[in-house]
Amino acid sequence: GENVEQHPSTLSVQEGDSAVIKCTYSDSASNYFPWYKQELGKRPQLIIDIRSNVGEKKDQRIAVTLNKTAKHFSLHITETQPEDSAVYFCARRGGGTSYGKLTFGQGTILTVHP
């Protein structure tokens, strides 16, 4: 279906370490995969996205990889900083009648310890 499974639900790292969050989906028609960061009490904000015709995309310290065969995509944050602490959500967009609608994962609480 349209569900997205996100793991882990919580992630704790030391400043400077890398963090990886993984999402899996089942609908092979999924074609767009954004990642959002939500700080406490604030709105989710898009940090990076990838389309299904691309395998990897980087933006400074963050990157997203997509494995269409295995139906999973991952967020990679390198050289983590305390300000990276937030809740991160993955999402996917399908086709057909659900075109345009995003389905979100359950979220990962990332804590970066100084």
Return residues touching another protein (CB under 8 A): 6, 9, 32, 34, 42-46, 89, 93, 99-107
| Secondary structure tally for the chain: helices H, strands E | 0, 11
Helix (H, G, I), strand (E, B) or coil at 63: strand
Give 83's contacts (C-beta < 8 A, 6+ positions apart): 112
CB 112 within 8 A of CB 84: yes
Residue 40 CB, nearest approach to another protein (Å): 11
Whichever of 43 and 53 has its CB closer to another protein, that residue is: 43
Residue 52 CB, nearest approach to another protein (Å): 13
Whichever of 78 and 106 has its CB closer to another protein, that residue is: 106
